[in-house]
Amino acid sequence: MSYSDPDFQVRREHCAGEAGGAATTEYARFASFQKARLKKVHVVVTTAGTATDHGFDLYSGTSSIGSITLGTNAAGNAASSAALNATMNAMGRFSVKSKADATGKAVVVYEYEVTPDAVQSA
């Protein structure tokens, strides 16, 4: 994909489903066959947490790249990470790991873009 391709600036999203329910557990894995850049992670609370540190740590592979704190926000509240601009190599993975709260849950959506040097299938 070249820089002049109209798809170059298109933001894509991957809804990784609901995450949470067990403290410090990895959830919502997102892998891609091509290189990608994670722009932000968005979450919408489905079950309120019971601890002020309820939320998620964000990972690229095994490296921590950010976090989202939700506290005791009620269902329906949304939050987003800071701008991440984290790169993922082909067949790499992004995921979230719940913080200390074992009750809270949220739907996780990854906002990403495919990088122009991604290898395409023949």
Cα 96 from Cα 108, distance rounded (Å) = 8
User: Is the alpha carbon torsion for 48, 51, 53, 59 positive or negative?
Assistant: negative
Q: What is the domain count for the chain?
A: 1
In a domain, 122, yes or no: no
pLDDT value, residue 5: 61
In a domain, 121, yes or no: no
SS3 22: coil
Model pLDDT for residues 18-42, shown as the tens digit of each residue? 899 888 899 999 988 888 899 999 9
Model pLDDT for residues 55-69, shown as the tens digit of each residue? 999 999 899 999 999
In a domain, 99, yes or no: no
In a domain, 5, yes or no: no
Taking 60 as the threshold, does the pLDDT of residue 2 lie above it? no
Model pLDDT for residues 67-98, shown as the tens digit of each residue? 999 999 999 999 999 999 999 888 889 999 99
Q: Which helix (H) or strand (E) holds 45?
A: strand 36-47
